[in-house]
Amino acid sequence: MTGILKKISQINFGLMSPDDIRSMSVTKIVTPDTYDEDGYPIENGLMDPRLGVIDPSLKCSTCGTKGGECQGHFGNINLARPVIHVGFADTIHKILRSTCNTCGRILLTDSEIFDYQNKFKTLIKNEESLTKIIKDVYTVARRDKCPHCEEEQEDVKIDKPVSIVEGNYKLTPSEVRERLEIITDSDSVILGVNAEKAKDGTQVARPEWMILTVLPVPPVTVRPSITLETGERSEDDLTHKLVDILRINQRLKENMEAGAPQLIVEDLWELLQYHVTTYFDNEASGVPPARHRSGRPLKTLAQRLKGKEGRFRSNLSGKRVNFSARTVISPDPNISINEVGVPEIIATEVTVPIKVTEWNLEELKGYIMNGSEVHPGANYVIRPDGRKIRIYDEIKETVAENLEKNYLEKGELGYVVERHLKDGDVVLFNRQPSLHRMSMMAHEVRVLPYKTFRLNLCVCPPYNADFDGDEMNMHVFQTEESRAEAKSLMRVQEHILSPRFGGPIIGGIHDHISGAYLLTRKSAIFNEDQVFQVLRKSKLPLPDRTGKTWTGKQIFSKVLPDDMNMVYRAEVCRKCDECTERSCKNDAYVVIEDGELLSGVIDEKAYGAFSGKILDHIVKEYGTDQAREFLDASTKLAVSGIMKAGFTTSTNDEEIPQEAKEDIEAYLYEAEERVDKLVAAYDNNELEPLPGRSLEETLEMKIMQVLGEARDKSGEIAESYFDINENNAVIMALTGARGSMLNLTQITACVGQQSVRGGRIDRGYSERTLPHFQKRELGAKARGFVHSSYKKGLDPIEFFFHAMGGREGLVDTAIRTAQSGYMQRRLVNALQDLSVNAEGKVTDNRGVVIQTLYGEDGVDPAKSDYGKVVDLDKLVDEMRIKSGK
Amino acid sequence: MQETIEKVTKVVKKKRAQKIFTEQLIYEIAETVEKRDLDDKELDELVKKVKKSYDRAKVEDGEAVGTVAAQSVGEPGTQMTMRTFHYAGVAELNVTLGLPRLIEIVDARKKISTPTMAIYFEEEFRGDEEFVRTIANQIGKSTMNDIVQDFHVNYAEMNVVVELDMPKIEDKRLDFEDIINRVEKAFKKVKIDNNVLSFEPAKPSIRELRLLADKVRDLQISGVKNIGKVVIRKEEDEWVIHTEGSNLGAVLKMEGVDKVRTTTNDIHEVEKVLGIEAGRNAIIHEAQRTMDEQGLTVDVRHIMLVADMMSADGSIKSIGRHGISGEKASVLARASFEETGKHLLRASIRGEIDHLTGIIENIIIGQPIPLGTGSVGVLMKQKK
């Protein structure tokens, strides 16, 4: 950055007086036409050259700068008759209602005025909202009699959008303006219009300025016309609207001068009011929106600012940027979690600006010589005078020579070369929706062939990414400060722990987990050759050959820190009543002593995303560098482990013996019979209702319970035939790699009850779900119980109910994303200004203290141990393992 | 226990950590000492380790805790269920849960969709089923319909004859006198003959008679205002009343009710009856419960910050344009959130000044934001 950085300290808002509007305008606009027959802008027309230019080849006749540099100049239209500004109609109405119709004083007694003035002072001093107190004034100041001049007051009503009616008489804008004019400055303040005179006599607002007598005309830069391919000119919506206003204004003026009858003048006046109203806001209630010739409603001033696509949210709070790229993502288990694979085609397009120094001159020259097409090349050279030179093959030699000559011989400083992205550059990587800060992390570039971004599988959970066609964005930092900041704060390894719950969010997934399990389970014994293959493949240091066989646990211990001590229960733990600890038959009791895995298997609880205990421990005790190394090494190890064992699954994994099938069938029939009995009991009025429930509800609940049990029980029967040692699907379910036991039993045994709106299915035909059933039939099948398993296949009726349940799920997800997205936006907007100050207090931007100590203990959840400062039991366990107790 | 606490406090003082260790933490350490039977040396080491962890876990100055809290509360929203009704513990009552409930909490709705109370009792009444049942019937809404044995609309004599079911009244622990009083208060033309009541309509028409019949049937004979159904449940050898509808103020005044543990899920009611601090705790408790029920873990600190923000000025404000976001000092911050036009117009007539201290304002004008690394600057001494 060069030069002095200026800082904007405040923005003052105010109303423009007619004088302000006239004095800032460069010309009066009179003619409603834009261009003459030759295509030149008409003087005093809406495209008057004095309003500024857009075409870079022209010069602005007001400020003399070229098009593109001239930001434009305002013009003005003198309105033949005053009109009300729509946005202020409500305020005008309330002010008129609160002021005397003769003397113009506010309808409050002197003591009340004094009271409110004091209240205003304190509120303004504390920077608090005035909305409430102003509302209060409007209600109190509704009197039938003026306390100052004793005049009787008539009720003033507003007829949306802009008509103000007193009694039965409709006030014209001129009359309204007259009344507003006589309100004193001090009264205005209490009425919510800051008319206080500053020391230099200027005012930010006056009530009568809410009535327009002169209309500012924005410069052409605000409403550029577009030339279509056919050579036809198409004007901006605002220009169209201004043309309308000018036309009516002209006619109104002519009619008034000609002394036309009152009725005609009033009609035209109303029409002018309509056009000015829609010019400001084309969605004002009670006004038919002005339309384009094609029937599309015009986008006028308010519409330009408002809403998601408006100026504020889409151009000011968020902006389009250069040096960014977007493409499909795909996995690469061989790169580090800190890295991102960038396709060469992108690396040659987005660039990093490098200042030319003595030390990098040769390197940069090399890039220039490579040109803009060959990979480690450069696209532009920026000269000290600010000129940007594109590097072509034809000129690359000269550019390089000039650079060297000017730099070395003339000593010219300030050259910048925009070179291609290369390995090791830091970039920002992002996947929408950016729901939390881990959705944007800094990665190191690895330029790779092909056309997709490559990322390590461990970073899928924080981005919530998969590879079914997801696309992601990349941004290249352009300053050293941003690079430094990103590298120390935003790198992937700094975000292994989620601030949401203080545990790891980056970690092994899917095959990493089943792989580690296959590697570390009890039966995994490897001969030395195999061990060396695995270690070599995962790039771990090779030990000396001894000729002995290895257990998988020994292999995995290679990636654990040497002095690590831990005890925990693995994901495969079945939560037996009595824990046999190290002699657990599932090998679920994990003991790590001095970096040696002594018992237990490695599964999701060890280093999986969301629950990895070992990973969590390493981040917290050994730092993020070690954690990254551990993750890179252990996942590679797991992948080589799974490749040694081989891993496949098919529906054969969900096969059970015939007698099991019969057992399940028998159990399901029995359950369905029980349902029938319940229904029979209900029909015979023998059912006892549960307290606070009707008979029907009780029946439903009981049936749901029986059918739920039926599915669980049939699942249990199937489960008892599943053996983790010979069934890969079960390995995945039990280790937490993918899927659940429920998924498996649904394939094998019974799919279970389908539900819509939280209950059994009860919609469709009158009093029955499908015409295949009796009316009011309440049996299991008639209400969506799917007896079959996925493997056996669903019958048509079951299929239909299953589709109903499935559809509900889809609709649910769609609605949920919209709702939670809006909730998130509101939350972020409400809380974004909070920060921890130097004393540990949480304050907002005004300095209001929200918490005296963050979280009541000053602990950052991202650095805590699942929300706690320390897990005391864990500490004691570690201490005891060390001391050998 | 007291001894251990003192012992721990001494060790903590020795390690010069008394300023950072909270009372809660010292208590927890003492608990561990007793449970795991630590000797003095081990305690020493433990305290040392805890202190180290504490130093490591401190929140940094300038940290954007607000944004992190908002994201941490909002992000799991996508994983929550939409299903409004679900039973939480009590199978007989429906309670709104999941995303709709969370939205309800941050909205600070005045009328929540399923208000419910859990009423606990003082020590001596906890096991007393009879007492709890009596209270439950006083609280729960009963109508005439619940205690009639025979209900007869007599078109010939133009009256409604109701025979009350004495055993049912007994069963519901209602007072017969009280019922009669209520009936007499509600209906002028009523004849009472022991347990047989006969009502006459104001005008002898069939229409009137039918209306009267409905009115008689729906006459509330007991119950606290705003409370409907009640359910009595035994939870670990004590009786607890769960209600549909909520009226904390009235219930707390009843005899035998445990004033400490009795709660409602209506945040505004808690605030009204027990004050803003209680309201803040209610927000934390309710939000946390909603998250836990869905199996999502969100650190309390985030929820606390949301709750503190909502209750910072002494009343509960909603998150959104009618609450916090609509009352921000900065015009640009308000305009960029919602109701852009309204805020800009209002700012112009009031001559508002935007001091550009917030995040969004600085983004809009293209300056670094005053958070994190942007909240610090470098001060240089001028060369003389």
The model's pLDDT over A483-535, given as tens digits with 9 standing for 90+, comes to: 999 999 999 999 999 999 888 999 999 999 999 999 988 888 888 888 998 88
Determine the Cα–Cα distance for residues A517 and A680; give it in Å rounded to an integer.
51
How long, in residues, is chain A? Answer: 885
* Residue type at B166 in one-letter notation: M
Determine the Cα–Cα distance for residues A99 and A101; give it in Å rounded to an integer.
6
What is the token pair recorded at A754? 């389908």
Mutation for testing the A interface, residue in B35, B50, B301 having most A CBs under 10 Å:
B301
A205 is a domain residue: yes
* Residue type at B243 in one-letter notation: T
Q: Identify whether residues A669 and A792 lie together within a single domain.
A: yes
Closest residue in B to A87 (Cα) is: B345
Q: How far is A649 from chain B (nearest CA, A)?
A: 28
What is the token pair recorded at A462? 């924080």
Q: Identify whether residues A340 and A461 lie together within a single domain.
A: yes
Q: Estimate to the nearest angstrom the gap between the alpha carbon of A189 and the chain centroid.
A: 40
A840 is a domain residue: yes
Kindly report the CATH number assigned to the domain that includes residue A638: 1.10.274.100
DSSP string, A37-58: TTSPBPTTSTT-GGG---STTS
Neighbouring residues of A34: CB distance < 8 A, sequence distance ≥ 6: A41, A42, A45, A46, A47, A225, A235, A239, A243
Predicted confidence at residue B82, as pLDDT, reads 62
A857-880 as b/e: b if 16+ CB within 10 A: bbbbbbbbbebbbbebebbbbbbe
Nearest beta carbon to residue B357 from set A692, A842, A845? A845
**Cis peptide bond upstream of A462, omega within 30:** no
What is the token pair recorded at A523? 């039966």
**A503 vs B contacts (CB less than 8 Å):** 297
Return the SS3 of B313. Answer: coil
CA end-to-end distance (rounded Å), chain A? 62
Are A419 and A367 contacting, i.e. CB atoms less than 8 angstroms apart?
yes
Residue A347's domain comprises 324-495
A345 is a domain residue: yes
Q: Identify whether residues A749 and A848 lie together within a single domain.
A: no
DSSP string, A200-259: TS--S--GGGGEEEEEEE--TTTS--EE-TTS-EE--HHHHHHHHHHHHHHHHHHHHHTT
Residue A801 pLDDT level (bands cut at 50, 70, 90): very high
Subunit contact B349:A500, Cβ cutoff 8 A:
no
B306 Cβ under 8 Å from any chain A Cβ: yes
Three-state secondary structure readout of A130-187:
CHHHHHHHHHHCCCCECCCCCCECCCEEEECCCEEEECCEEECHHHHHHHHHCCCHHH
Respond yes or no on whether ipTM tops 0.85: yes
B315 Cβ under 8 Å from any chain A Cβ: no
Nearest beta carbon to residue A88 from set B91, B319, B349? B349
Q: Identify whether residues A538 and A563 lie together within a single domain.
A: yes
Q: Identify whether residues A681 and A767 lie together within a single domain.
A: yes
pLDDT exceeds cutoff 70 at A140:
yes
A774 is a domain residue: yes
Quote the crossing angle between the two packed helices B98-107 and A796-831, to the nearest 10°. 20
Residue A842 pLDDT level (bands cut at 50, 70, 90): very high
Determine the Cα–Cα distance for residues A517 and A572; give it in Å rounded to an integer.
10
Determine the Cα–Cα distance for residues A384 and A341; give it in Å rounded to an integer.
34
Subunit contact A833:B54, Cβ cutoff 8 A:
no
Kindly report the CATH number assigned to the domain that includes residue A401: 2.40.40.20
Domain boundary among A462, A495, A528: A495
Determine the Cα–Cα distance for residues B62 and B369; give it in Å rounded to an integer.
11
The DSSP bridge partners found for residue A472 are: A327
Determine the Cα–Cα distance for residues B55 and B49; give it in Å rounded to an integer.
10
Domain boundary among A464, A495, A526: A495
Domain boundary among A624, A645, A666: A645
Return the SS3 of A407. Answer: helix
pLDDT exceeds cutoff 60 at B317:
yes
Predicted confidence at residue A189, as pLDDT, reads 86
Rounded average pLDDT over B370-380 = 86
Closest residue in A to B141 (Cα) is: A692
Determine the Cα–Cα distance for residues B176 and B192; give it in Å rounded to an integer.
12
Q: Identify whether residues A840 and A771 lie together within a single domain.
A: no
On the CB side of A755, CA atoms within 13 Å amount to 13
The model's pLDDT over A207-223, given as tens digits with 9 standing for 90+, comes to: 889 999 999 999 988 98
| Burial of residue A763 (number of CB atoms within 10 Å: 0-12, 13-18, 19+) | exposed
**A876 vs B contacts (CB less than 8 Å):** 32, 36, 38, 42, 46
Rounded average pLDDT over B268-284 = 93
Q: Identify whether residues A771 and A882 lie together within a single domain.
A: no
Are A647 and A352 contacting, i.e. CB atoms less than 8 angstroms apart?
no
Return the SS3 of A328. Answer: strand
Q: Identify whether residues A660 and A639 lie together within a single domain.
A: no
Predicted confidence at residue A378, as pLDDT, reads 92
B109 Cβ under 8 Å from any chain A Cβ: no
Looking only at the bridges linking them, the beta strands covering A416-420 and A351-355 are antiparallel
The predicted model scores a pTM of 0.89
Q: Estimate to the nearest angstrom the gap between the alpha carbon of A193 and the chain centroid.
A: 37
Closest residue in A to B312 (Cα) is: A850
Helix (H) / strand (E) element for B221: namely strand B220-222
pLDDT exceeds cutoff 50 at B88:
no
Rounded average pLDDT over B283-295 = 89
Residue A99 phi, psi dihedral angles, 5° rounding: -120, 160
A442 is a domain residue: yes
Report H helices in A684-777: 695-719, 728-735, 741-748
Neighbouring residues of A83: CB distance < 8 A, sequence distance ≥ 6: A162, A173, A211, A212, A269, A272, A273, A276, A277
On the CB side of A122, CA atoms within 13 Å amount to 6
B139 Cβ under 8 Å from any chain A Cβ: no
Long-range CB contacts for residues A291-296, cutoff 8 Å, separation at least 24: A292/A237, A292/A240
Determine the Cα–Cα distance for residues A628 and A623; give it in Å rounded to an integer.
9
Mean residue pLDDT of chain A comes to 88
A828 is a domain residue: no
Number of domains comprising chain A: 5
**B367 vs A contacts (CB less than 8 Å):** 7-8
Cα A654 to Cα A723, A747, A748: the distances in Å are 11, 7, 5
The model's pLDDT over A265-292, given as tens digits with 9 standing for 90+, comes to: 888 998 999 999 999 998 888 888 888 8
| Burial of residue A514 (number of CB atoms within 10 Å: 0-12, 13-18, 19+) | buried
Rounded average pLDDT over A299-318 = 90
Please tell me which residue, B163 or B83, carries the higher pLDDT value: B163
DSSP string, A770-786: STTS-TT--STGGGTEE
The model's pLDDT over A439-455, given as tens digits with 9 standing for 90+, comes to: 999 999 999 999 999 99
* Residue type at B163 in one-letter notation: E
Percent share of chain A, pLDDT over 70: 99
Predicted confidence at residue A484, as pLDDT, reads 93
Are A256 and A266 contacting, i.e. CB atoms less than 8 angstroms apart?
no
B80 Cβ under 8 Å from any chain A Cβ: yes
Tell me which residue has tokens 């309003």: A51
Are B243 and B227 contacting, i.e. CB atoms less than 8 angstroms apart?
yes
Q: Identify whether residues A590 and A550 lie together within a single domain.
A: yes
Percent share of chain B, pLDDT over 70: 96
A290 is a domain residue: no
The model's pLDDT over B134-151, given as tens digits with 9 standing for 90+, comes to: 888 888 887 777 777 887
Q: What does DSSP assign to residue A5?
A: P
Q: How far is B179 from chain A (nearest CA, A)?
A: 22
How long, in residues, is chain B? Answer: 384
Q: Identify whether residues A417 and A523 lie together within a single domain.
A: no
Are A754 and A794 contacting, i.e. CB atoms less than 8 angstroms apart?
no
Subunit contact B371:A870, Cβ cutoff 8 A:
no
Q: What does DSSP assign to residue A128?
A: -
Residue B311 pLDDT level (bands cut at 50, 70, 90): very high
pLDDT exceeds cutoff 80 at B19:
no
Predicted confidence at residue A3, as pLDDT, reads 59
Are B361 and B369 contacting, i.e. CB atoms less than 8 angstroms apart?
no
Range ranked top by mean pLDDT from A2-6, A412-416, A839-843 = A839-843
Subunit contact B71:A435, Cβ cutoff 8 A:
yes
pLDDT exceeds cutoff 70 at B344:
yes
Closest CA to A201 of A17, A462, A31, A1: A17
Which range (A122-131, A482-491, A796-805) has the least confidence? A122-131
Determine the Cα–Cα distance for residues A307 and A573; give it in Å rounded to an integer.
52
Determine the Cα–Cα distance for residues B306 and B267; give it in Å rounded to an integer.
14
Q: Identify whether residues A337 and A452 lie together within a single domain.
A: yes
Determine the Cα–Cα distance for residues A213 and A19; give it in Å rounded to an integer.
10
**Cis peptide bond upstream of A657, omega within 30:** no
Determine the Cα–Cα distance for residues A301 and A278; give it in Å rounded to an integer.
9
Q: Identify whether residues A478 and A556 lie together within a single domain.
A: no
Predicted confidence at residue A488, as pLDDT, reads 93
Predicted confidence at residue A425, as pLDDT, reads 93
Residue A885 pLDDT level (bands cut at 50, 70, 90): low
